[in-house]
Chain A
Amino acid sequence: MSLLEIAGVSKRFGGLQAVKDVAFRVEKGAIKAVIGPNGAGKTTLFHLVSGVLAPDAGEVRLRGQAIQGRPTHEIAAQGLSRTFQHIRLFAGMTALENAMVGAHVAGRAGFLAGMLHLPWTWREERALRERAREALDLVGVLPLADQDATRLSYGQQRAVELARALAGGPELLLLDEPAAGLNMRETAGLARLLGRIRDRGVTLLVVEHDMSLVMNVSDEVVVLSYGEKIADAAPREVQRDPHVVQVYLGEDAC
């Protein structure tokens, strides 16, 4: 059984068919990339998988269980976490607090326990903080833990967002253009980081524009164009696929 299975998923916004009958699988432990020109439906596909949007048709299965149309927080509790194309850090909270919200799914203290400050919640808080620090350390921003997250530099904010997504210990991590706005050196660092995250047993599904990153780190690549899947193969094969080349470079290139 694949960790994530997308089967015949479609989504329409008014007159625009954003995603059309897309199907593919993500195997446990893999790094899978989704690429495609602007407007190909990549981010919409992410929203459909993470529960921000509900598909018009088709199924999204996590460990064989249909999750499409479920609320985002339930899907997150099932071990699926994500970052956003436009950074969505929590304003007015430190980097550590942001990452601790990421670890939310690993805790269970509710209103009553919180109000009464019950002893078991102290231990839980320590555990959540430890997880958050570990995640910040993994992405290399632990020294910034106590800084206001939204005042950090762009690259640091991206890193905190990644740490936040990791802190809950997800099984599947969705990254929406993690290299956007990063320079070449930072992108190379990101590639190594994605490898380390995978080595910890986290499966990755990455939407990305940066071809060098995609070709370097991913095991498999799905190519979308106008909402439809036009390729799903290893990076080398995708690069040679005439259809993909045509979509990326235009008709004349063929």
Chain B
Amino acid sequence: MPRSRYARVALLVAAVVAVQLATEWGGKPFFLTQLTMSAYYTLVAVGLSLLMGFAGQISLGHAAFFAIGGYGSALLTTLDLSPARGSAAVSLLARTGLLAARTDLSGAEALSVAPWPAFACAIALAAAVAWIVGVPVLKLKGHYLAMATLGFGTIVHSVVLGTQRLGAADGLGGVPAFRLLPGLAVGGGRAARVENYYVAWGLVALAMLVLGNLVESRVGRALRAIHGAEDAAGSMGVDVGRYKLRTFVLSAVLAAAGGAFLTHLTGGIGPGEASVMKSVRYVAIVAVGGMGSLWGTLATSATLEFVSLRGWFGTLDDAAFAVVLLFVMLFSPDGLLRLDLPAALRAARGRLSPGPDAETEP
């Protein structure tokens, strides 16, 4: 791997183009659909990697932010405001261009919030929720932090599942395509497959560039310091609470963006996206990719999510994630790339033999 983040992003772009050409020539253009979807899950994973690997804070509730982004966008872009067309508020919104006319699933005229403002609202909501939840939660440590974030995820899941307005168990559908720029849309079905693929991976490349910049900056250094020794970081002038909170909000925003884009891409979102199992999968991906390695997370996420979305794990999907997770955590807790199996086995044998307990990990 090249050391410079720009070279790495360039390599990513090259790989993205190569994969597209390979699917084209290999006669498997339909692979792009799952590759595109895996890009949006990867946005969640790299954001979580920043939080877990750099700031050292676990979150077992990141699927909730993905869901907030997705449901927020879906709700606003499908909520029909045409019955209220006459009201002052709606007509004002319509005049400012924040609303868009569309035909709904049954073919009737409908008036809803346009994707851009809906996206902005969904992201703002996710950021606000992350901030409100983060203030108390990030004061916790270890098991308590894990359980509190898991609890937060559970609450969002039950709310989504139990609210008729959000489609309950069916979720929301009929979400229109999201025109980012003229000629660049997220969604639009099979015809726009190549376009969608490049938009998705372009967004991932952008995120990698921005996060790569961040981890190499003064802030990134401070985050690693917090991970290493929180009290000492504070004594060096690092505002530990504020940095943790901002990282949490940033990773929540990335997750929400992934959720919003994926919802526009597939035209809908279901409550499964908010489930605890989803959150655990993101944690698994970060763990397998190597804590503190954005690029390892990217590679792991793209691969595992693609394989999972293609259905190659069959009914063993969750089990496969669990096995990979356990394997890496048992034998190579710093990520799959740093696996040293002989050493791990030697260490295991040493610890199993009678004698004083092994040293505590740092």
Contact = CB atoms under 8 A, between A and B. Distances in A.
> Do A and B come into direct contact in the complex, CB within 8 Å?
yes
B236 A168 contact: yes
B15 interface: no
A128 B246 CA distance: 23
Interface string B196-221: 00000000000000110110011111
B221 A97 contact: yes
Contacts of A52: 231, 234-235
Given A100-B221, A115-B213, A115-B214, A93 B235 contact: no
Contacts of B2: none
A10 interface: no
B229 interface: yes
Interface string A88-126: 111111000110111011010111011111000100110
B232 A114 contact: no
Q: How large is the interface on A (under 10, 10 to 19, 20 to 34, 35 or more residues)?
A: 35 or more
A102 B218 contact: no
Interface stretch (A73-81, A136-144, A241-249): A73-81
Interface in A59-73: 71-73
Contacts of B220: 114
B235 A125 contact: no
A117 B362 contact: no
A111 B250 CA distance: 9
A110 B228 CA distance: 20
Contacts of A72: 231, 234-235
B224 A92 contact: yes
Most buried by B among A101, A109, A165: A101
Nearest to B249: A111
Contact of B225 (A81, A82, A90, A124): A90
A81 B214 CA distance: 26
B222 interface: yes
Nearest to B210: A115
Given A72-B234, A90-B228, A125 B213 contact: no
A104 B362 contact: no
A50 interface: yes
Nearest to A98: B225
Contacts of B210: 115-116
Secondary structure call for the B interface: helix
B228 A82 contact: no
A93 B214 contact: no
Given A113-B217, A114-B213, A76 B235 contact: yes
A109 B219 contact: yes
B155 interface: no
Contacts of A121: 217-218
Nearest to A101: B225
A164 B224 contact: no
B233 A90 contact: yes
Nearest to B239: A73
B238 interface: yes
Contact of B237 (A76, A97, A109): A76
B168 interface: no
A95 B219 CA distance: 17
Most buried by A among B210, B214, B232, B246: B232
Given A91-B228, A91-B362, A92-B228, A101 B233 contact: yes
Contacts of B218: 100, 104, 107, 109, 114, 121, 124-125, 128
Contacts of A101: 221-222, 225, 233, 236, 238
B292 A92 contact: yes
A84 interface: yes
A71 B232 contact: no
B240 A73 contact: yes
Contacts of A116: 210, 213
Most buried by B among A73, A82, A92, A125: A73
B70 to A, nearest CB: 24
B229 A114 contact: no
A48 to B, nearest CB: 13
Most buried by A among B210, B214, B217: B217
B213 A93 contact: no
A13 B214 CA distance: 41
A117 B229 CA distance: 26
B214 A73 contact: no
Nearest to A82: B235
Contacts of B236: 73, 76, 81, 101-102, 104-105, 164-165, 168
A111 B221 CA distance: 11
Contact of A109 (B217, B224, B225): B217
A81 to B, nearest CB: 7
B208 to A, nearest CB: 11
B214 A168 contact: no
B259 to A, nearest CB: 20
Contacts of A111: 214, 219, 246, 250
A52 to B, nearest CB: 7
A146 to B, nearest CB: 13
Given A113-B217, A114-B219, A73 B232 contact: no
Most buried by B among A50, A109, A114, A150: A114
Contacts of B362: 91, 150
B50 to A, nearest CB: 11
15 contacts: A51-B235, A52-B234, A76-B236, A88-B229, A89-B232, A90-B225, A90-B227, A91-B228, A91-B362, A92-B292, A93-B224, A100-B218, A101-B236, A115-B210, A128-B218
Q: Which 8 A-B pairs have the closest CB atoms?
A: A114-B217, A90-B228, A76-B237, A105-B237, A88-B232, A72-B234, A117-B213, A114-B219
